[in-house]
Amino acid sequence: MANHDADVIVVGSGSLGSLVALQIAKRGKDVLILEAGPVTPDWKITENFRTSPRKDNLNAPFGDIPFAPNSYTPGYVDFDADVAWIPGTLRIAGGTSRHWTGVAWRFLPEEMKLKSNFGIGRDWAFTYDELEPFYTQAEYQVGVNGADTSDYSGHNRGAPYPPRSKPYPLPPEAKPYALQRFQMRAAERGYRWDHAPNVRLSKPYAGRPACVGNNICNPNCPIGAKHSGIHDLEAAQKAGARLQTKAVVDRLEKDSQGRITAVSYLDYEGKRTRLTAKVYVIAAHGFETPKLLLMNELANSSGMVGQNLMMHPTLSMSFYADEPLWVGRGQYLHGANLQHRLRDDRASVSGGFYQFMNHNPALSTAQALFKEGGMLGEHLDSELRLRASQFMSVQLLLEDLPDPSNAVTVNTSFRDKLGQPGIKVHYRLQDYSKAALPRTIDDFANWVQAMNAVPQEVPGATWYNQHHIMGTVIMGTDPKDSVVDADLRCHDHENLYLVTTGVFPSVSCVNPTLTGMALAMRAGQHIAQQV
């Protein structure tokens, strides 16, 4: 066996890549992480956000690097979709979780066996019970606030669900005043608001301070109370993992048996470096991972690389209540209504959950006022103040199903400064998701009545999506219709692993990151045993 540059090379220093590296490095193996972007500390991102005029652009504070474009770099993502948002992805040390909101749900056991339970979509290659210990490990690694008593299926059966082997590491934070008022006034119509587990600390944890309510969870928590991939990267480095930044990986080599033999990257001067390892991990999120595989014609005997894109179709709704609620105090997201998450009609209607949006409403109310026009001076000021105090908005996140025609491909009409191509997205909403609209309109009407409110945005006029990229390197037991197996190993390459939310065969309706982290913990333990 030739001398290798490392036992394991991980492409991508985001939360998932770093957690895999941490798991492997902790067991005494030599891990090298390759990251396309540079290291930039949180304080610098805060500075960039404050001085940026593009406050509604999640990626803006992280810069447009011409050698490693992000998903908002003009022209990089060719987005052909009937949903509104290009998911914001980053190439920087710490990865896209540098700007995640920090909602840390677990999937339900039923949702991981969608095909078996409801006859639709696909099943995971293992059960919730097998993932559970890794959910717990991930929660303790990143610091999750949660309510140990909540039934997160939405059925309010009086016992915590899904099952957990250990309590949450941190208690839930208090519900903000606005949510308390909403909860009180909507309760008589049968609505319940649960605490939404999250990584915005309610108490100091692992050297990070508790949240003080700066209310800019995206793009960046200015005090590090919210977890980000930079914390996982630091933990991995502390455990001995090495980091090479400004390393844009574009090539993987394989031998006749399909084993990967080398990975190579370009630095920002265009200089190529070739490296070898026993095991290779691609942890480059749901866009870049399939792009890299497609560019190198790897892992694709099933033809599924890049296909089955799922992004959590989303409906947004908002209103002005008849009383000041002052949303924007505390963190971005606190409460969730889960009553439609797990219903009997799942075979025909997507599961969904509502999240209470606690963002500072100044920007959105001002934008609406300016659109209406006709207001100036003091009148404008007082109207803005009034509306900002009464504003409330809610998002419904919905499940989508794996469909090969919703896909990520290589965008060859774009070339970055290193000559690398961009990404092409094709996505169409499914009837399965759309079927949730009527009940959403009912709920919204109820809330408007309960709050004696004036509607601002009515659900359904625009379909949105989340910054969640799933399904693009799908997991399964059959190599003919999936890319990776239960251990996240490529069916086609025994020493190539894909650690990304792209492997999800079903996506629930809840935010995917914690599940991705649990997968990374699980894969890391497995890979460490292989080298």
Partner 1 sequence: MRTLFLLTCALLMAQVAHGASAHSTGAVPDLVDQGRYLATAGDCASCHGTSFAGGDAVPSPIGKIYAANITPDKQTGIGSWSLAQFSDALRNGKAPDGYLYPAMPYPSFTGLTTGQIQALYSYFLLGVPPVSNNPPQTSLPFPFYRPMMGVWNALFLEQGTPTGAIKVSGDVQERGRLLVETLGHCTACHTPRGQLMQQDSKRHLAGAMVAGWWAPNITPGTDGIGGWSNDQLSTFLMTGHTDIAVAAGDMGKAVSHSLSKLSKDDIDAIAAYLRVVPAVASDVPKRTASTQTSVIDVSALEPAGTTDWQTMLGHDTTDGNILYQSACASCHGIDGKGSNDLKHPSLLRLKSITGPDSATLVQVIAHGVNRKVGDTHTLMPSFRSSMSDGQIASVANYVSTKFGGVKGEVSASQVATILKGHVETPWLIRYARWLAILAIALATLIVVALAWTLIRALSHRRGRHV
Footprint of partner 1 on this chain (CB under 8 A)? 37-38, 40-44, 46-48, 50-53, 60-66, 92, 203-204, 207-210, 212, 214, 222-224, 234
Q: Which is nearer to partner 1, 221 or 394 (CB)?
A: 221
Tokens of 222: 């200015």
Query: Phi first, then psi: what are they for 364, rounded to 5°?
Result: -70, -40
Residue with structure tokens 């903000």? 176
Neighbouring CB atoms inside 10 A of 415's CB total 12
Rounded to whole angstroms, how far apart are CA atoms 498 and 336?
A: 31
Nearer to partner 1, 55 or 192 (CB): 55
CA atoms within 13 A on the CB side of 62: 28
Which residue in 233, 403, 397, 220 sits closest to 308, CA to CA?
A: 403
Catalytic residue among 195, 231, 340, 468: 468
- Environment class of 207 (CB within 10 Å of its CB; exposed 0-12, middle 13-18, buried 19+): exposed
Q: Which is nearer to partner 1, 9 or 248 (CB)?
A: 248
Q: Which is nearer to partner 1, 210 or 450 (CB)?
A: 210
Smallest separation (angstroms) from partner 1 to the CB of 75: 15
Q: Which is nearer to partner 1, 53 or 119 (CB)?
A: 53
| Smallest separation, CB 233 to partner 1 (Å) | 11
Work out the burial of residue 38: count CB atoms within 10 Å of its CB; fewer than 13 is exposed, 13-18 middle, 19 or more buried: middle
**CA atoms lying within 13 Å on the CB side of residue 188:** 6
> HSE-up of 221 (CA within 13 Å, CB side)?
27
Q: What single string gives the DSSP state of each residue in 344-385?
A: GGGGTS--EEEEEE----HHHHHHHHHHH----HHHHHHHHH
For residue 210, the minimal CB distance to partner 1 (Å) is 7
Judge whether 484 and 124 are in contact, CB under 8 Å. Answer: no
Q: How far is the CB of 420 from partner 1 (least distance, A)?
A: 16
- For residue 382, the minimal CB distance to partner 1 (Å) is 24
- For residue 408, the minimal CB distance to partner 1 (Å) is 25
- DSSP, collapsed to helix, strand or coil, labels residue 130 as helix
Mutual orientation of helices 229-238 and 15-26 as an angle, nearest 10°?
20
- The reply to whether 468 belongs to the active site is yes
Q: How many CB atoms lie within 10 A of CB 126?
A: 16
Query: Which residue number, 119 or 207, has a Cβ lying nearer to partner 1?
Result: 207
Which CB sits closer to partner 1, 5 or 234?
234
**What's the helix, strand, coil split of the chain in %, to 5?**
30, 20, 50
Pairing of strands 421-427, 77-81: parallel
Strand arrangement, sheet containing 6-11: 242-244, 31-34, 6-11, 277-282, 496-498
- At closest approach, how far in Å is the CB of 38 from partner 1? 5
Active site residues: 468
